[in-house]
Each structure stands twice: as C-alpha cells, then as structure tokens.
Amino acid sequence: MRLFGFEVTRRQKAMQNVPVSRGWWPLIREPFTGAWQRNKEERLDSLLQYPTLYACVSRIATDIGKLPFSLKARNSSGIWDAVENPAYSPVLGKPNHYQTGQQFREYWSLSKLSQGNTYVLKERGSRGVVVGLYILDPCRVMPLVSDSGEVFYQLYTDNLNLLPDGGDERLIVPASEIIHDRCVCPFHPLIGLPPIAAAHWPALKNMRIIKSSAEFFANNAQPSGILSAPGSIGDDTAKRLADYWNSNFSGANSGKVAVVGDDLKFMSLASKSVDSQMVEQLRYSDEQICQPFGIPPFKVGLGSIPSGLGVDAINQLYYDDALQTHIHAMECLLTDGLNAQPYKIDMDESVLMRMDAGKKADYHRTLIDGSIETINNARLSFNLPPLDGGDTVYMQMQDMPLDQVRNNVLPSPAPAPDPAQGAELSAAIEESKQVKAELFRLKFVQAARTEATR
C-alpha cells in the first residue's frame, strides 16, 4: 500500500526489533512492588507536574520554538544569504495541517527531551518533493534493523498524523522517510536516553516532599501521632477510640478541642518541615534536576545570578550548554532529510540574543568603525530603509594598507627636488618681487603728482 507518497511494505521476518529493555520510558517505574496496581507508580505525566522539571523542559522547548527556519544559499562571495525556493520554503513555513512552524519546533524539542527520541514522518508530493512533516508519538514507533543492516521504522495507528490501522499488516517505512533525532545513546545507536531519565530521582524525591507537605498543611499543620493510655486496653476499645478520634479531630475537623479521660495522651509521630530541612532538600534536588538539561539554576528561578555575569554572558552560557546541541541537530537533520543540498536550513538565533537599543547601536557602530559592515547593514537590523552610499565600507585616509603593515614596509619618502628646477623657481620668485616693488614705486609717484597739482 502507498502512504504519504511512498510504498509501505509488510513486516519482514528478517527484521529485528531494536532492544529497548535498557531504555527509559518503555519500562514501568514502580517505587515498590505492587505500586502500579495501587495507582502509586510515578509516570512521566506526573513527574512533569513538578515545577522545576517542567520549567527546564518548557524553557528549552519554547526557546527553540522561537527560532524561525531560514533557507540559505551560498553566493559568489561565499556568504550564506537567505533565499526562497518553492521546493523547500512552503514546508518550512507550514510543516503540516495542524501545527505552525513555532509549534512544530516546540513539539520536536518536547518529544526529544521527554522521550529521548523525535520521529518525523515525511509526506511527499507527486514529484517526490517533501510537502509535509509529521512528528509521531514516540510510543507508537519501533526502530527495526534488517539482517543487512538497513534501518526501518514500524509505525502504529496514529489518527492525528493520518496513519491508518494496518490490521495484520504492520506499517513499515524505510529510514529515508523518517527524520530521527535522538539524545545521547548509551545503550543502542537508535535509542536515545532523555535528560529526564537522569532527573528522575531528584524530581521524584521533591514530588514526595511536596505531597507530604500538602497533606501536612491540609491537616492544619498538625502532625499525625498516637493515643496512649497508662494501662492496657482491648482491641475493641482501641478501635473505638481511633475511629472516634479520626472522625472528630482530623481532616476538616482538625484543630478542634478534644476532651479525653482515663489519662489518655497524644504523641506526635510525623516530623515537621523544619526538622527535616525541607527547603534545603528541595533546593539541592532542584539543582540536580537542572544538571542533565544544562540549564543554569538561576535561569529557572533557583538562587541568584552569580556576580560579575552580565545579561549577554548569561544568555551565551545558557545557549552553549542547553540549546546549541539541539539547534544544530535540528538544522543538520532537516537539511539532510529534505535533500536540500546545496542549500542549508538555518535557524535564526539572533531572536534569542536580542540586545537593548543602546547596546545594539554601540555594537553596530563598532562594526562600522572597524570596516566590518556597511551603514545599510546596520540600518537593516533596526528595520530602517537603506541610504544612498550606505553600501560602501569606509576607512580613514591615514590607515596603512594591510599588505604593507604585514610586510613591515614603510611608505617611500617624497623624492628630493631637482637643483635646476630649484634655481629656476628662485629666479622666478626674485623677478616677481622686483615687479611688485616697481609697481609700488610708480603708484607712489603718481599719488605725489596728484597731490602737487591740487
């Protein structure tokens, strides 16, 4: 059968499932035996309810979602310029029928960070060009490897992504029709391990601390305990006293005045949050959660910004440790998956590195003064129209040519004047002086004669 413009085959006996027994989420994680039957297992959706873990995942995913795709081609000068191409630009702007470009990039990152793998199915048009990209549910995709080493992917029913129920025929597609992005692969090259796997236990510990704290304060901050009597009592009496105490002095009735006799005493068992150093425990585990994601703790509201770090240094640190590897992987995989060579697919990272207007102006002024960019390039970054003559790089006249500076060559001195030319110039100057003196004498004589006539 044909699906999305390519041929889907039956499952072949020569193919083997990729072992995932040492993976992460395919296994059920139980805090103790029988917890799953009692609905006490810790699943991904419940762990993501923890604020710090949610902040780490959402911060990376939403920041990558901000970066628009750009198709670039190398010009004759070797510079990559943004271009438009009808074979690639439409699918980059609108990958599928239910996601925008921003939602597509964000969900790509969420799948990778939470499950360790992102599977993107290609939809091809009549000319074999990719016209749609669909991010699949990682739990509904199984990598397969044939005896010859070829990679295939087994797809299960997914109505949102238009994958039909294959019945007895399991949908098998070749690796050429799947873009597979994955985190580090410690167990198998086709199975990625998400950072949530490393953050599991710290998040689980803090989740239990918060649940215990919520239960504690739901009981009006009154710890649980035992009722003790000075003498022995029977089981029936003990049960009657426990039922009476629980029904009248716990839950919504907590805090009421209890009147007891027979020298009964209440002894607290649960420790208070101060005794267990809850705040310190939460902070330490939160920092451990941030480590696998490469996020500085202060980026998700933990602690304060280290002294000496400016805004630019903070953003650069966050980009290098938490974002760069995911952005680079997405660019390379899309360029290769869409067969876009000699073009390349780039993500505009300047959206993340925006500066304030004053610092941005200083930055471009430095580039212009250093003859690195033109005035019109700087105006373009401020969304201003170009000016006549603004496409020229300017340099001061006293600057030395680069080849002379490199070879330590001084400019040649001016040639000495010719002696013959010097004599002629001196004679001409002397003659000019004599002419001026004669004119002055004649003018003086004429003025004297005019005065005598009067």
**Same-domain status, 181 and 313:** yes
- Asked, for residue 422, whether it belongs to a domain, the answer is no
- Asked, for residue 423, whether it belongs to a domain, the answer is no
**Same-domain status, 112 and 12:** yes
**Same-domain status, 230 and 373:** no
pLDDT of residue 355: 60
**Same-domain status, 40 and 155:** yes
pLDDT of residue 422: 67
**Same-domain status, 294 and 389:** no
- Asked, for residue 415, whether it belongs to a domain, the answer is no
Cβ contact 293:56 at 8 Å: yes
pLDDT of residue 270: 54
**Same-domain status, 318 and 349:** yes
**Same-domain status, 404 and 319:** no
pLDDT of residue 178: 95
- Asked, for residue 248, whether it belongs to a domain, the answer is yes
pLDDT of residue 93: 93
pLDDT of residue 314: 83
- Give the end of a domain, one of 305, 333, 353: 353
Q: Which domain holds residue 263?
A: 224-269
Ranges of residues in the chain with a pLDDT under 50 are: 1, 10-13, 21-29, 31-32, 35-37, 221, 273-275
**Same-domain status, 237 and 318:** no
- Give the end of a domain, one of 269, 290, 305: 269
**Same-domain status, 342 and 362:** no
Q: How many domains does the chain have?
A: 3
pLDDT of residue 36: 47
- Asked, for residue 440, whether it belongs to a domain, the answer is no
**Same-domain status, 232 and 190:** no
- Asked, for residue 293, whether it belongs to a domain, the answer is yes
- Asked, for residue 10, whether it belongs to a domain, the answer is yes
- Asked, for residue 395, whether it belongs to a domain, the answer is yes
**Same-domain status, 155 and 170:** yes
pLDDT of residue 88: 93
**Same-domain status, 289 and 140:** yes
